[in-house]
Amino acid sequence: MTITTGDVLPGATFLAVGNDGPQQISLGDKMKGRKVVIFAVPGAYTGVCTTAHVPSFIRTKDKFEAKGVEEIICVSVNDPFVMAAWGESTGASAAGLTMLADPEAAFTQAIGMEFSAPPAGLINRSKRYAMLVEDGVVKALNVEESPGTCEASAGEGLLSEI
């Protein structure tokens, strides 16, 4: 089943690189009593993800904060080392975005957002989407029809929904 507005997100454990290596991050802890934005990309270091999607949330971070958003989380079906390096190379980490790995696509599959594009080497990856979540409940959800498009799921696209 694909997640939709009004649904409660399932619990999930992501990975991020901490001071002592990979560490588990509980999505439930990130969402509890908070307003957060979660956006997902088909792959770190891929074209549109790097040149459009991540930069759109760096540009709009202050506007989201003005609307009460406490954290912006980027999720990708990659390993935590790739996500950490990508966060550094794009400036996302310096801007305060949280870069989380869903290495087995467990969360992505649980919310029905998986897709594969074998010709591009993308197998069991995430669709491109962005959502506003309040205390675990999806309040707004924008999913792109094509993984190569970043309009509705861009920071500006989600910001216009809230």
The rounded percent of the chain whose pLDDT value lies above 70 is 99
Tell me the pLDDT of the chain averaged across its residues.
95
- Inside any domain, residue 6: no
Write down the pLDDT at residue 148.
86
Residues 36, 136 contacting (CB under 8 angstroms): no
**Which one of 31, 38, 41, 49 is the catalytic residue?**
49
Half-sphere exposure of 16 (CA within 13 A, CB side): 16
Q: How many CB atoms lie within 10 A of CB 28?
A: 12
- Inside any domain, residue 8: no
Based on the residue annotation, tell me whether 49 is a catalytic residue of this protein: yes
- Inside any domain, residue 1: no
Whole domain around residue 139: which residue ranges? 13-159
pLDDT digits (tens, 9 = 90+) for 44-100: 998 899 999 999 999 999 999 999 999 999 999 999 999 999 999 999 999 999 999
Query: What are 51's strand-pairing partners?
Result: none
Q: Can you tell me the mean pLDDT for 106-123?
A: 90
| CATH code at position 63 | 3.40.30.10
- Inside any domain, residue 4: no
Q: Can you tell me the mean pLDDT for 140-152?
A: 92
Query: What are 26's strand-pairing partners?
Result: 13
Query: What are 21's strand-pairing partners?
Result: 18
Domain tally, the chain: 1
